[in-house]
Amino acid sequence: MHFSMDLRRLSIPKSHLFLFSPINRPCVTCTAQHRPQEPPQPPPLQLPDQPEPTDQSLHNWVFSILSKPYLDSSKCKAVVPLLSPLQFDRLFCSISSNVNPRTALYFFYFASESFKFRFTVRSFCVLVRLLIGSNLVAPARLLLIRSIDGNVPVSYANPSQRHMEIAIAMLALNTVAERGVGIQTLDLLIHVYCTQFKNMGFGYAVDVFMFFSGKGVFPSLKTCNFLLSSLVKASELHKSYQVFEVMSRGVSPDIYLFTTAINAFCKGGKVDEAIGLLSKMEGRGVAPNVVTYNNVIHGLCKSRRLEEAFQFKKKMVENNVNPSLITYSILINGLIKLEKFYEANCVLKEMCNRGFLPNEVVYNTLIDGFCKTGNISEALKTKDDMLTHGLTPNSVTLNSILQGYCKTNQLEHAEQILDKMLSRGLSINQTVCFSVIHWLCMKSRFDSALKFTIEMLSRNCRPSNGLLTTLVSGLCKDGKHSKAVELWFRLCNKGFAPNTATSNALIHGLCESGSMQEVVLQLKPMLERGLVLDRISYNTLISGCCMEGKVEEGFKLKKEMAKQGIEPDTYTYNLLMHGLCNIGKVDDAVKVWDEFENQGLAPNVYTYGVIIDGYRKAGRVDEGEKLFSKLVTKKVELNSVVYNTLIRAYSTNGNMTAALGLRLDMKKKGIQPTCATYSSLIDGLCNIGSVDVAKCLLDEMRNEGLLPDVVCYTALIHGYCKLGQMDKVGNILLEMSSFNIKPNKITYTVMIDGYCKLGNMEEATRLLSEMTKMGVVPDAITYNALTNGFCKERKVEEAFEVCDHMANKE
């Protein structure tokens, strides 16, 4: 039909929207047995100065759109702006029995996407029911999901309770004539909530089920089984008990529903309830099957009620239900957990006599039990028996044996077992072997880890990049740099080129080992074998040079990386500036800052920290303070490192007012002080004699959730030593001991110096002896303090003895 004008130019007075109250149930407009051949056509459109369309005309327009087998989008664009959600709801309900469900679905999506039209909950529910009634379950499911998660706009009164609003609307639409559709709709609702919205803890599904069942409407038996099974699998056991109790009132439980409920009770430790339900099940004429009995037996075994478990095994046989392999496995597992190995072997023999061959699960249960009790010999015998029956030990088997050794700290035995397996050419799960290698690395057994790694490489089994990086890093930390380099080349020779992270771990270890000259010698052949340096590699090398004070070499590396097409980053420049500051060239560091800003790089908080610390070391605290003030105005997120640097500078200079002020400023900005913050403050306060105030800071630290470390305590001890209050030093040591904090070399040196200045050489000497017994190695400063003490007391011979002792140590 040709339309003379656009319906969007028409408007409907607001009063028309509320001519009829909302309908509480579906309305059927035609009670005749035969539907009309042609749907009513919309009346001719009227000019703007003529009366606007009535509800009846809109009724006809909507009907003409939704009753067709296809969607006329041009009509939709014209009609939708004229409709309100409530008005459409009334119209849709009145014609629902005569609309095309697919067309209605397309209309809903079109109106939602093009006009953000918010349908009422009832309209949405009517459409879902129409789709289900036409066997269009998949589109109905998708529509339901999209409306629940908000992708289709629906006018909910309370979005947080949308699941209940849908349920109420769906129930209100139920009729006796469409009872089947009502149950199908409920089934779909529950299924969607269980599968698509599991993150809500199945609460929505249970709420909907309880609401409908409270009104005497229950889902199908299949859905009841699905809901209960879903709850049990998700360990929502309390909900499963409630749901099953309600289900039993409306449906006749079958074997599957009873068995699932029994499993839930057993899983939740309610074995007596499970046994009671089993009796009730038999009373209703539902015969338990092997799964039912296995659930009860498993529950009894978990509750350590083995005698009753065997009684139920006897009962199932009497009821002509044959025990399965799972039945025997459960009983063996229960006996093993009670360390009843003899009885477990008896069950194993009975199982074999009945024609069941033990599988990997049964053997692994026995082996795991033996290993957990430390009975490794029986575990190995069982493993051999497993082999004779044609079963190859799997990763679970080997993990039980090897980890059994590892858990009992019998790493040598674990190595021997693994060594035998590998030497005999037995097939072994790579994951198991690599887990042992990783375990050895965690225990710092790097030689053994390297041995097994080399063996696995010979079998063309490559460890993961993460494990190789851990091993290389560990070898370097253990001082075995040459072995780490050898492993790197071995990987290359096997065609297993180490990745960049592994190579960088090796470079980092070499740089920390000492001489950069040695590092360069090691790197040359590695570069020839294809080692590619990245930014992290270069930054690691630059850091090593700067740590040795060879800042010029660091700058050469910066030029080299630029030649290789790797642009230096802020971290690169920070390292170079830090190196310059460490050798007292803070002004040169500032020039470097200007250079990298000209390169378009932005300084970060660590850049400021490096220069502020450089000013501190140079005694130019005022300049450091100015830079800090500049930093505060920048859009750079401050951190504790920068604050701590300036606090340390003020504390060293005795300006405690400024230092304490910065701590307060940290807190105001939401930056929590650290142990380094407090150790600087404590040291500064002690230096000006305010030791008691410094002691109060320890209490403040604990109130803020910080545990004072040995540096904080040492600073406080130093303060008391300066005041000669050695009795209070003893109290501090007791406090340290209560928190399992042990004195370090500086702590002992400070105390020795304190006693020496008081002339108490006996206590100073005792402390030196205690220090060495505790494995803390004295240094030259410690010995000098003791020597000065003896000289002050005119005990020159003892002073020379200390010097001789120091010389022998060197």
Q: How far is CA 217 from CA 172, 181, 212, 286, 763, in A?
A: 12, 12, 5, 24, 88
Residue 800 is predicted with a pLDDT of 76
Whether residue 468 is predicted with pLDDT greater than 70 in this model: the reply is: yes
**Cross-strand partners of 154:** 119
Local confidence band at 10 (pLDDT 50, 70, 90 cut-offs):
very low
In this predicted structure, what is the pLDDT of residue 624? 85
Rg (CA), the chain: 41
Least confident among 378-387, 513-522, 682-691: 513-522
Among 333-347, 402-416, 566-580, 770-784, which is the least confidently predicted range?
402-416
pLDDT tops 60 at residue 13: no
- Model pLDDT, residue 46: 36
Q: Tens digit of pLDDT for each residue in 115-171?
A: 999 999 999 999 999 999 999 999 999 999 988 887 878 888 888 888 899 999 999
Q: What is the mean pLDDT of residues 289-318?
A: 91
- Residue % of the chain over a pLDDT of 90: 39
pLDDT at residue 85, as a whole number: 92
pLDDT band at 14 (very low <50, low <70, confident <90, very high): very low
pLDDT confidence band for 809 (50 / 70 / 90): low
The reported pLDDT for the residue numbered 810 is 55
Q: What is the 3-state secondary structure (H, E, C) of 497-546?
A: CCCHHHHHHHHHHHHHCCCHHHHHHHHHHHHHCCCCCCHHHHHHHHHHHH
**Predicted local distance difference test score (pLDDT) of residue 177:** 64
Q: Which amino acid is residue 290, in one-letter code?
A: V
Confidence of residue 50 (pLDDT cuts 50, 70, 90): very low
So what's the pLDDT on residue 260? 94
Q: Whole-angstrom Cα distance, residue 399 to residue 416?
A: 14
Statement: residue 9 has pLDDT above 50:
no
The pLDDT assigned to 662 comes to 87
C-alpha distances (whole Å) from 134 to each of 108, 428, 622 are 17, 57, 83
Q: Is residue 15 pLDDT above 60, yes or no?
A: no
**In this predicted structure, what is the pLDDT of residue 266?**
92
Average pLDDT over residues 431-454: 87
* Contact status, residue 11 vs residue 82, Cβ threshold 8 Å: yes
Q: How far apart are the first and last CA of the chain?
A: 108
Q: Say whether pLDDT at 52 is over 60.
A: no
Predicted TM-score of the model (pTM): 0.50
C-beta separation of 386 from 349 below 8 A: no
CA dist 238 and 243 (Å) reads 9
Q: Which residue has the higher pLDDT, 608 or 276?
A: 276
Residue 154's SS3 state is strand
Work out the pLDDT band at 49, boundaries 50, 70, 90: very low
Under a CB-based contact definition with an 8 Å cutoff, are residues 171 and 215 in contact?
Answer: yes
Whether 210 has a pLDDT exceeding 80, the answer reads yes
Segment among 302-306, 391-395, 696-700 with least mean pLDDT: 391-395
User: Residue range 698-727: average pLDDT?
Assistant: 90
Structure tokens at 252: 């006749």
Predicted local confidence at residue 402, as pLDDT: 78
Q: How confident is the model at residue 405 (pLDDT cuts 50, 70, 90)?
A: confident
For the cut 50, the answer to whether the pLDDT of residue 308 exceeds it is: yes
pLDDT at 790 over 90: no
Which pLDDT score is estimated for 654?
85
> What's the farthest any 2 CA atoms get from each other in the chain?
128
Q: Which pLDDT value is given to residue 644?
A: 87
- Range in 32-41, 276-285, 313-322, 363-372 the model is least confident about: 32-41
pLDDT band of residue 289 (cuts 50, 70, 90) is very high
Q: What is the pLDDT of residues 736-782, one digit of tens each?
A: 988 889 999 999 999 999 999 898 988 988 998 888 888 888 888 88
**Residue 354 CA: distances (Å) to CA of 313, 348, 349, 357:** 14, 10, 9, 9
- pLDDT tens for 347-402 read 888 888 888 888 888 888 888 888 888 788 888 888 888 888 888 888 788 778 87
677, with CB counted inside 10 A (0-12, 13-18, 19+), is: buried
pLDDT digits (tens, 9 = 90+) for 558-593: 999 999 899 999 999 999 999 999 999 999 999 999
Lowest mean pLDDT across 4-8, 269-273, 276-280, 659-663: 4-8
pLDDT value of position 45: 33
Residue 41 predicted with pLDDT over 60 = no
pLDDT of 356: 86
Give the confidence band of 54 by pLDDT, cuts at 50, 70, 90: low
Q: Tell me the average pLDDT across 327-350.
A: 87
Of 734, 674, 672, whose CA–CA distance to 709 is shortest?
674
Nearest to 171 by CA among 29, 28, 24, 27: 24
Domain range summary for the chain, segments of one domain joined by +: 66-249, 743-809
pLDDT of residue 559: 92
Task: Tell me what the pLDDT averaged over the chain comes to.
Answer: 84
Strand partners, 655: none
Average pLDDT, stretch 425-429?
69
